[in-house]
A and B are shown apart, each in its own frame.
Chain A
């Protein structure tokens, strides 16, 4: 079913208008900021030790979209990042690989070539990332380029300006149109929650993105602070849980930006487990958009194996910062 057809069906309208979308989105239950942040803080106090910690570290590694999104990205850097994904820890071949490499569209071919036939996806950011300030034809061309270059996944940004202006129909159409040119590529919809600010907006943008056919909802571009906070991710996990209750379909969640330590990653996994449920504890349904997180997970993994902390010099890193 096409997104607009399903949307009309869910909203019970014969024609999808902005006012129909507004009524529907504004009819979602509100989010109490204090209560939401309290719930996230209480989930963050879970104490994950020994075997469950080992499981969580390996699962978190397998959920990473290893990311480089810089003006200074070169073929060499992208090759290095892809090689790191193939062999995250040369000292331990049992280390799981991350789910994907996430790059700008023009670097997709380089990443694909390096990864070869390995089961690691290539995700490309598109639609005038990160601001999204371009015309729809430009956004679609950007997406088609990435798909043509072999991208398995497209990370698009929503038009936050249109969303904040109440023009939900424009946001809906752009997502649906981008989805239509994705072909087999899975579409992640970046809400840029740091610009939406309120949890009510995050909830509405999540439902709007799912309604328009997004396969994933993603918090942030990583270019705006705050990026992926635990409460924001909690609200999005509630949204995908409730969306499945409503439609029977699962949608993935990807917090991106600002998750740097194993401790943080484990808190997110606990939240996935207790809010959305165990079905989302799989890299088909949950991802971390991160660059430095992998190295901290590897460090903790080595510590669990050897009983001692090594250090940064024992974690092979082919993509250190330029600065």
Chain B
């Protein structure tokens, strides 16, 4: 035991006020659901029930879409871009002012470490509103085409890994472009979206511009199928993304899908090795590996594989796994029992396939959902753990011999969301980035996000881009009217 044991440094939860139950946010106010079965959202670190949340029925979704349509035709689409921008700036500032409250609530509902909610999720969420607020009155100058106009009512379905941040990625560009929104947060993490409803009221956002309906798959399907929806934006699994694409085939609905990934984090023998180790940690253990662009495959040049293995495992032994509310926690709780079971199943598959499993053996809390940071070495391209998304703190290590082989292996999955390259050779970075079929390529860093940088995938990782000027294209139509 180290002489320097860090005493518990818990963030206070007094700053949040969680209601015992929540209705749906439609037309600017909370309303009761019309039937549906209320469900509970729990703190995954303790399994404590945080609140009861309504399940929106088809009728509720219909009411929400109508409210969004009314707000669109009567107010939001007629408002000047400068005025829409004012509301978005206001929301951004309120998010900054209430950042601590949101960060604590996010950690309680999601299980992510408070330091990540505080230092990543909240600053980025506010930044997305600031960034898009700036675009609202400049759409004519964004090279989107002649006369960019909003699409109408947008249905948005977001995942549980970055609840508020994904909400921001979706709502900020939609509103900036003049659309109104019906958004469904994930069923395991609805609380920050419901608190965001309060921010909309605080910002005096016209009623109906943002509507938040809670529920699980059936509610999401109701949004997808509703004829009053002009466009769908979805972030989540590839399986659900495919269902959505099937559902809207043959309709006039547009869609952007941001789906799964199996990113390669490629380490060359001339890499800055200590920073590469940090990049691997940040790539796969950030947010418990619940990151669609996570660097879940390490491709390491074979001549340094052993050294990297030694350095990586030494580093992982210092990761602090446990109470997400402790400011010193590096890896928090797995978001749900269902996800934990999925991770356990895939790890069992990896062992059965003959890969060598390692974890730090750190203590885990008794309640809640936990999984130790895990490394599989001796993984081959044909192993399922090298092909399928695990969406947890589990990394597969594969080796390569030449740059061309690294590219071939990196591209050899059905996904193409992100990739990382670690080398001191700038020319190789550019050559690799050109060859990799991935929407985002990071060089000597990983998991860096910025609202001005477009994000999205190739292949089964989805289509469309979010963020940057490119992200606006998904929320406007251009050319002649009618």
Residues of A within 8 A of B (CB): 29-32, 34-36, 38-39, 45-53, 55-56, 59, 238, 269-270, 273-274, 278, 281
Contacts and interface: CB of A to CB of B under 8 A. Distances in A.
A321 to B, nearest CB: 32
A-B CB proximity, top 10 nearest: A35-B275, A47-B9, A32-B272, A47-B327, A32-B275, A29-B273, A52-B7, A278-B2, A50-B7, A30-B272
B318 interface: yes
Contacts of B328: 46-47
A49 to B, nearest CB: 5
Given A32-B444, A49-B9, A281-B3, 11 more contacts: A29-B273, A31-B275, A34-B445, A35-B444, A35-B445, A46-B328, A52-B4, A269-B4, A273-B2, A273-B4, A281-B2
- Report whether over half of chain A's contact residues are helix, strand or loop; otherwise say mixed: helix
Most buried by B among A32, A38, A55, A274: A32
Given A30-B424, A45-B115, A274-B318, A35 B3 contact: no
A31 B270 CA distance: 11
Contact of A36 (B3, B275, B424): B275
B318 A45 contact: no
Most buried by A among B7, B274, B275, B278: B274
A244 to B, nearest CB: 12
Contact of B4 (A45, A50, A281): A281
A161 to B, nearest CB: 26
Contacts of B279: 35
Contacts of A47: 6, 9, 327-328
Contacts of A46: 6, 327-328
B5 interface: yes
B271 interface: yes
Contacts of B6: 46-48, 52
A49 B7 contact: yes
27 contacts: A29-B273, A30-B272, A31-B272, A32-B275, A32-B444, A34-B445, A35-B272, A35-B275, A35-B278, A35-B279, A36-B272, A38-B278, A39-B274, A45-B115, A46-B6, A46-B328, A47-B9, A48-B6, A49-B7, A49-B8, A49-B9, A52-B7, A53-B7, A55-B4, A238-B274, A273-B4, A278-B2
Interface of B: 2-9, 115, 119, 270-275, 278-279, 318, 327-328, 424, 444-445
A29 B278 contact: no
Nearest to B424: A30
Contacts of A35: 272, 274-275, 278-279, 444-445
Nearest to B1: A278
A29 B9 contact: no
A322 B236 CA distance: 65
Contacts of B424: 30, 32
A242 B328 CA distance: 26
Contact of A30 (B4, B115, B119, B270): B270
A269 B6 CA distance: 11
A38 B318 CA distance: 17
B19 to A, nearest CB: 30
Contacts of A281: 2-4
A271 B272 CA distance: 19
A46 B275 CA distance: 19
Contacts of A30: 270-272, 424
Contacts of A53: 7
A210 B171 CA distance: 56
Nearest to B444: A32
Contacts of B327: 45-47
Contacts of A49: 7-9
B271 A29 contact: yes
Contacts of A278: 2-4
A53 B5 CA distance: 10
Nearest to B11: A47
Contacts of A52: 4-7
A273 B115 CA distance: 20
Contacts of B273: 29
Nearest to B446: A35
Contacts of A48: 6-7, 9
A270 B327 CA distance: 14
A32 B4 CA distance: 28
B331 to A, nearest CB: 14
B36 to A, nearest CB: 42
Nearest to B274: A238
Nearest to B423: A30
Contact of A56 (B4, B274, B278, B445): B4
A45 B119 contact: yes
Contacts of B445: 34-35
A31 to B, nearest CB: 6
A30 B2 CA distance: 30
A31 B274 contact: yes
Contacts of B272: 29-32, 35-36
B9 A39 contact: no
A55 B5 CA distance: 9
Most buried by B among A35, A49, A59, A238: A35
Nearest to B304: A29
A45 B115 CA distance: 9
A50 B281 CA distance: 29
B3 A55 contact: yes
A34 B444 contact: yes
